[in-house]
């Protein structure tokens, strides 16, 4: 009887094994590649809006850069190159005139005209649209079409960075009931095909593109939120290209794998500590200096970030070569130096071991957001070092909306966060560190810095701009409203199907449009 029972179990097991093998083999046959030149790109978030005026996530930036054209495009060196505009000139420091090409067409066949450009910029400046990047274009007074093929920008004040922001995708002025957020219509090298929400967005090559049809037939932007899963999907052959954000462990493993081409760029983002300059203790530049000397920058960047970022020297960004100099340096990590500085300034250990002066304890909270485990570890390490010298440093980690809400309203002490897409020094400094800047959450105020940043924005000559920004960066490196931790690197890994792949430091993929 028992033998019969065992025999029945074995028979059942054999049938199950056979079914499993059939399924596995069949799935291998069934799992189809898309066309012969389809590129599958992994991304961490689904796009929210494919209207370039309303875009607010990296997936949308990358896709819109392929679906739309701008007046200019930034190349791998972040230098403006002609796109819809063939040439441009500045008759005076408050006027820009662009001459447009006549052979660009939107994907529905209608020509791209100066009126479309005017419409795009007028609408992005409209407060009712709530465009995230409206402030970049606020110095524009008027935009008007001139002669059949020219556009004139008249500025309220001289604004040198403007050209770098004119890669904004141009939308048609009249789309009827079409919702560009979900059904974009551009003139770029790729046209929108379909959007499987939460799954993938598919673009196909624009046959009539003025610079020549791309060699790639189709781009699939596939959403895989988990960074490690995205890396594994590349290794499994389910993706052809992945990019930052990636975990340091996955970056080093993939970098050692010869199957993949590794593109590493210094990036144009920073991770930084933001001091609240109205805090009773942190309002003192000496205390800020001592705290900066207690942040073990090299250990954080090498151990926590796995060396994929670069320790920062100042608020100047190496990728913006024309403005960068390594000679301006923030204070180096020096625990004894920090101790001495605080002692000299009159901070003495109280009864509870915490440094105090005039009845004020040296106590504050380090804050960051929960979505980035590297930032959490950075806070924990820094808290430990600060506690060792007698500073009562607490840590606070909340999710992004709660965190950014408190930072924007000035309800923080010392926050660890970042800035991205810093294609111009103005974008890293003006709004953030001028006294009335809308991004000056810590309320730092220095009239000298105000004057230097205003000059950097106003003068057209690059050398003069660089001088102004370097002078401002020098003051900032001494007074430390910001302590810049690192320049965030950009990493991309591509399979051999993308032999000619090139990205720019923003992680934009215009290089995929090569004919």
Question: What's the min distance (Å) between Cβ of 388 and another protein?
Answer: 31
228 binds another protein (CB under 8 A): yes
Question: What is the distance between the alpha carbons of residues 268 and 137, in angstroms, rounded to a whole number?
Answer: 20
For 164, the enclosing helix (H) or strand (E) is none
Options 72, 78, 104, 224; binder of another protein; rule CB under 8 A? 224
Residue 448, C-beta contacts closer than 8 angstroms, at least 6 positions apart: 475
The 3-state DSSP class for residue 100 equals strand
Question: What's the min distance (Å) between Cβ of 441 and another protein?
Answer: 8
Q: Which span sits near another protein by CB under 8 A: 29-37, 288-296, 455-463, 503-511?
A: 29-37
82 binds another protein (CB under 8 A): no
Per-residue exposure over 459-484, b if at least 16 CB sit within 10 Å of its own CB, e if not: beeeeebbbbbbbbbbbbbebbbbbb
Q: Which span sits near another protein by CB under 8 A: 44-52, 89-97, 278-286, 331-339?
A: 44-52
For 465, the enclosing helix (H) or strand (E) is helix 462-479
Options 76, 115, 235, 450; binder of another protein; rule CB under 8 A? 235
> What percentage of the chain's residues is helix, strand, coil (to nearest 5)?
35, 25, 40
31 binds another protein (CB under 8 A): yes
Judged by beta carbon, residue 91 or residue 127, the one nearer another protein is 127
49 binds another protein (CB under 8 A): yes
Which residue in this structure is represented by tokens 């071991």? 353
The 3-state DSSP class for residue 477 equals helix
402 binds another protein (CB under 8 A): yes
Options 97, 145, 155, 182; binder of another protein; rule CB under 8 A? 182
DSSP 291: H
The 3-state DSSP class for residue 24 equals helix
Q: How far is it between the farthest Cα atoms of the chain?
A: 101
Question: What's the min distance (Å) between Cβ of 249 and another protein?
Answer: 12
Helix intervals (H) in 159-296: 227-235, 248-255, 285-293
Question: What's the min distance (Å) between Cβ of 475 and another protein?
Answer: 22
Q: Which span sits near another protein by CB under 8 A: 38-46, 258-266, 341-349, 442-450?
A: 38-46
Per CB under 8 A, contacts with another protein among 405-434 are 405-406, 408, 431
229 binds another protein (CB under 8 A): yes
Of 421, 402, 429, the closest CA to residue 133 belongs to 421
Q: Which span sits near another protein by CB under 8 A: 79-87, 216-224, 321-329, 465-473?
A: 216-224
CA distance to 97, 215, 234, 304, 387, per residue, from 365 (Å):
50, 53, 40, 21, 12
48 binds another protein (CB under 8 A): yes
The token pair at 510 is 């215009």
**What is the pattern of x (binds another protein, CB under 8 A) and - over residues 196-215?**
xxxxx---------------
Judged by beta carbon, residue 136 or residue 362, the one nearer another protein is 136
For 90, the enclosing helix (H) or strand (E) is strand 85-92
178 binds another protein (CB under 8 A): no
CA distance to 296, 433, 475, 477, per residue, from 470 (Å):
25, 14, 9, 10
Site residues, another protein (CB under 8 A) = 1, 5, 8, 23-24, 26-32, 42, 45-46, 48-49, 56, 127, 130, 132-133, 135, 179, 181-182, 196-200, 222-226, 228-229, 232-233, 235-239, 371, 398-402, 404-406, 408, 431, 438-439
């Amino acid at each position: 009887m028992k033998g019969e029972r065992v025999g029945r179990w074995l028979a059942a097991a054999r049938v199950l094994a056979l079914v499993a093998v059939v399924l596995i083999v069949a799935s291998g046959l069934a799992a189809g590649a898309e066309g012969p030149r389809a590129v599958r790109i992994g991304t961490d978030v689904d796009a929210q809006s494919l209207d370039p005026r309303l875009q607010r996530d990296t997936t949308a930036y990358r896709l819109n850069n392929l679906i739309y054209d701008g007046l200019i495009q930034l190349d791998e060196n972040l230098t403006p190159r002609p796109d819809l505009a063939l040439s441009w000139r500045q008759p005076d420091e408050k006027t820009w005139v662009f001459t447009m090409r006549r052979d660009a067409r939107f994907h529905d066949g209608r020509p791209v005209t100066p009126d479309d450009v005017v419409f795009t910029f007028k609408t992005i400046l409209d407060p009712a649209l709530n465009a995230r990047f409206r402030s970049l274009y606020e110095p524009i007074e008027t935009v008007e079409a001139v002669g059949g093929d020219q556009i004139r920008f008249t500025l309220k004040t001289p604004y040198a960075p403007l050209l770098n922001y004119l890669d904004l995708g141009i939308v048609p002025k009249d789309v009827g009931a079409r919702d560009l957020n979900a059904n974009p219509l551009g003139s770029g090298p790729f046209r929108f095909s379909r959007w499987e929400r939460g799954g993938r967005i598919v673009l196909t090559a624009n046959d009539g593109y003025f610079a020549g049809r791309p060699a790639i037939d189709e781009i699939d932007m596939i959403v895989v939120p988990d960074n490690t899963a995205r890396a594994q999907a590349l290794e499994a052959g389910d993706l052809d290209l992945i990019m930052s954000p990636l975990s340091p462990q996955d970056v080093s493993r993939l970098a050692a794998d010869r199957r993949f081409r590794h593109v590493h760029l210094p990036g144009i983002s920073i991770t930084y500590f933001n001091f609240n300059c109205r805090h009773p203790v942190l309002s003192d530049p000496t205390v800020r200096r001592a705290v900066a000397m207690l942040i073990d920058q090299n250990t954080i960047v090498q151990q926590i970030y796995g060396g994929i970022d670069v320790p920062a020297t100042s608020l100047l960004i190496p990728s913006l070569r024309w403005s960068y100099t390594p000679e301006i340096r923030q204070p180096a990590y020096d625990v004894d130096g920090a101790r001495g500085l605080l002692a000299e300034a009159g901070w003495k250990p109280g009864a509870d071991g915490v440094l105090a002066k005039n009845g004020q304890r040296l106590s504050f909270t380090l804050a960051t957001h929960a979505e980035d485990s590297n930032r959490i570890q950075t806070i924990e390490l820094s808290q430990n070092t600060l506690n060792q010298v007698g500073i009562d440093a607490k840590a606070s980690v909340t999710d992004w909306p709660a965190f950014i809400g408190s930072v924007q309203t000035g309800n923080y002490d010392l926050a660890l966060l970042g800035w991205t897409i810093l294609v111009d020094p103005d974008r890293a400094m003006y709004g953030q560190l001028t006294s009335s800047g809308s991004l000056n959450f810590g309320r730092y105020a220095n009239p000298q810095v105000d004057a230097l940043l205003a000059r950097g924005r106003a003068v057209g000559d690059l050398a003069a701009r660089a001088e102004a920004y370097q002078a401002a960066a020098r003051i900032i490196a001494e007074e430390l409203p910001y302590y810049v931790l690192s320049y965030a690197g950009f990493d991309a890994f591509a399979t051999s199907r993308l032999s000619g792949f090139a990205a720019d430091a923003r992680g934009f993929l215009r290089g995929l449009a090569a004919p």
